[in-house]
């Protein structure tokens, strides 16, 4: 994978670069601020960018803002956002763009290198990956017109794991059900959420996850 890394902290940025290179990733640029991130994405068109939420000058959400600007310049550019804390508003901003290829993980997740790399590949492939803690906090906010009301508890379990970026096989292992059962649940989810087969399974999967996270 060709990757842009954006983090203002030199040690963290260097550590991410070294880690990714160990997995045969090509780091096409390492940015220390939002403007440099946007320039790098436009210039290199990476497979995915790894971006810290808080960057100069105010260290609030400049990284997220820059990622959004980069996706405006390069539509659908995959972005994996890293944050020290759960900020539900940041997740909402990412969900506002329904094209997929976005992720939001807590930095602690980088410690589990295999999971982190799996999340990175999923975002690079156009998927949507959200930290389980982010999903949990998003679910606290329920609406009276919840589109998820028609799903069974098991279908909700499947969709929650989809939102966390798990493959069908991984979902089956975690729920102790067969691959065929997972596929059946996913078909039911698509039908109940009125997701057209014309969109293809990949886009329906992204739309289902977005519906779940917004509900």
Distance separating alpha carbons of residues 72 and 67, to the nearest angstrom: 9
Q: Domain count of the chain? A: 2
Q: Which range marks the domain in which residue 37 is found?
A: 2-131
pLDDT tens sequence across 97-133? 656 788 888 888 778 899 899 999 999 998 888 888 7
Considering the domain boundaries, does residue 171 fall inside one? yes
Q: CB atoms < 10 A from the CB of 136, how many?
A: 12
**188 burial class (0-12, 13-18, 19+ CB within 10 angstroms)?**
middle
Considering the domain boundaries, does residue 85 fall inside one? yes
pLDDT tens sequence across 42-59? 999 999 999 998 888 878
Distance separating alpha carbons of residues 118 and 84, to the nearest angstrom: 20
CATH classification of the domain holding 209? 1.10.10.10
pLDDT tens sequence across 58-112? 787 888 889 989 998 999 899 999 988 776 666 666 666 656 788 888 888 778 8
Considering the domain boundaries, does residue 136 fall inside one? no
Tell me the percentage of the chain whose pLDDT exceeds 70: 87
More confident residue, 181 or 90: 181
In the β-sheet with 102-106, what is the strand arrangement from edge to edge? 26-31, 2-6, 48-52, 79-83, 102-106, 128-130
Distance separating alpha carbons of residues 86 and 176, to the nearest angstrom: 29
Whether residues 39 and 71 share a domain: the answer is: yes
At residue 39, does pLDDT exceed 90?
yes
Are the CB atoms for 39 and 70 separated by under 8 Å?
no
pLDDT at 94: 67
CATH classification of the domain holding 94? 3.40.50.2300
Whether residues 197 and 176 share a domain: the answer is: yes
Whether residues 54 and 111 share a domain: the answer is: yes
Whether residues 162 and 122 share a domain: the answer is: no
Cis peptide before 191 (omega within 30 of 0): no
Considering the domain boundaries, does residue 168 fall inside one? yes
**Last-in-domain residue among 131, 156, 188:** 131
The pTM for the full model equals 0.67
Whether residues 108 and 181 share a domain: the answer is: no
Q: CB atoms < 10 A from the CB of 96, how many?
A: 10
């Amino acid at each position: 994978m060709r990757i842009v890394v954006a983090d203002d902290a030199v040690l963290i940025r260097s550590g991410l670069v070294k880690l990714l290179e160990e997995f045969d990733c090509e780091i096409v640029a390492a940015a220390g601020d939002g403007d440099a991130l946007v320039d790098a994405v436009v210039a290199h068109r990476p497979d995915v960018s790894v971006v810290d939420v808080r960057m100069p000058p105010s260290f609030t959400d400049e990284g997220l803002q820059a990622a959004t600007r980069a996706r405006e310049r390069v539509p659908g550019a995959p972005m994996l956002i890293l944050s020290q804390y759960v900020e539900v508003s940041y997740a909402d901003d990412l969900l506002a763009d329904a094209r997929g290829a976005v992720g939001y993980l807590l930095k602690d997740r980088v410690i589990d290198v295999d999971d982190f790399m799996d999340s990175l590949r999923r975002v690079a492939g156009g998927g949507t990956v959200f930290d389980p803690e982010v999903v949990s906090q998003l679910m606290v906010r329920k609406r009276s017109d919840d589109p998820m009301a028609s799903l069974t508890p098991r279908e909700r379990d499947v969709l929650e794991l989809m939102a966390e970026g798990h493959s069908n096989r991984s979902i089956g292992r975690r729920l102790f059900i067969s691959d065929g059962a997972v596929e059946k649940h996913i078909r039911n989810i698509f039908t109940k959420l009125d997701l057209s087969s014309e969109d293809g399974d990949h886009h329906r999967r992204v739309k289902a996850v977005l519906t779940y996270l917004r509900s």
